[in-house]
Amino acid sequence: MIANKAACYSLATMTIIGIANSANASLDLLAGVEAGIDTQTSMTSSDLEQTQKILSTEDIGVKHFWTNDDTGTSYEIIIDHHYSYGHYPCLAYDLIITTPYQTETKPLDACKNSNGQWISITSGTTAL
């Protein structure tokens, strides 16, 4: 049983690393982390592009807000602080997702990869 869990974890890790190496890695990994807990708060491609744009402004403490007219979901990003992960510039931020049914605040981190795209990371993630 433990061996099966370890094998599944290894496979998942290798899959994430493979995704990180693809051309769409930034959007894929941002989508995976910022999609929300359920599918009602999933970000569309335009939301992910807006997130990339906002994270690139890197204005600390400024509220960046938009509403997706197609889904009715509103998003707000507030960048908390900058830091480095190795030689990658990173930042911590809050993503506030508001749907007609709920508001959810997610503290997230993202680092800029070698292609200049922001990739959401979680502690222990090293695939940039």
Domain boundaries, the chain: 2-121
Q: How far apart are the first and last CA of the chain?
A: 31
Q: How far apart are CA 43 and CA 49, in angstroms?
A: 10
Q: How far apart are CA 85 and CA 99, in angstroms?
A: 33
Ranges in the chain, pLDDT < 70: 1-41, 122-128
For residue 93, the model assigns a pLDDT of: 94
For residue 8, the model assigns a pLDDT of: 37
* pTM exceeding 0.75: no
For residue 41, the model assigns a pLDDT of: 54
